Amino acid sequence: MGNIVTRGIRGAITVARNTPEEILAATRELLEAIIKENDLDPEDIASAFFTTTADLDAEFPASAAREMGWKYVPLICATEINVPGRLDKCVRILVHVNTEKSQRELKHVYIGEAAKLRVDLLPQ
């Protein structure tokens, strides 16, 4: 058994409209993809940090994680820096996980228009 360390997994997804339903559905889709791609169990998750662009304020994206059963995982939300000309209606997530995997083994997930944020991390 290797050393367990805390590492970060990034992800982002865009939302069509600023509604609670769309924010929660998109966040859930992103979290489910991160979990699947990295074979995670909620017990492995140390914490998660969610940000939204300033145009998404109808719901806390962390509420989607709570609905998925992340009862004991520390979660926090914030507003992303409002840089002119950048991607609108975007939910970003940084999940901290306790893992034996190296940084290169972790899979970051970018869905929809958010895929252009980190083209370098997308599967080849």
Active site residue: 10, 29, 37, 113, which one? Answer: 10
- Of the listed 66, 67, 86, 105, which one is catalytic? 66
Residue 86 designated active-site = no
**Of the listed 22, 37, 80, 113, which one is catalytic?**
80
Strands 90-99 and 45-52: antiparallel
Which residue reads 């806390």 in tokens? 60
**Catalytically annotated residue among 7, 59, 90, 110:** 110
Q: Among this protein's residues, is 10 annotated catalytic? A: yes
Q: How many CA within 13 A on the CB side of residue 109?
A: 22
What are the angstrom distances between the C-alpha of 10 and each of 13, 21, 97? Answer: 11, 22, 11
Is residue 104 annotated as part of the catalytic site, yes or no? no
- Active-site residue identified among 22, 28, 77, 113: 77
Q: List, by residue number, the catalytic residues.
A: 10, 66, 77, 80, 92, 110, 118
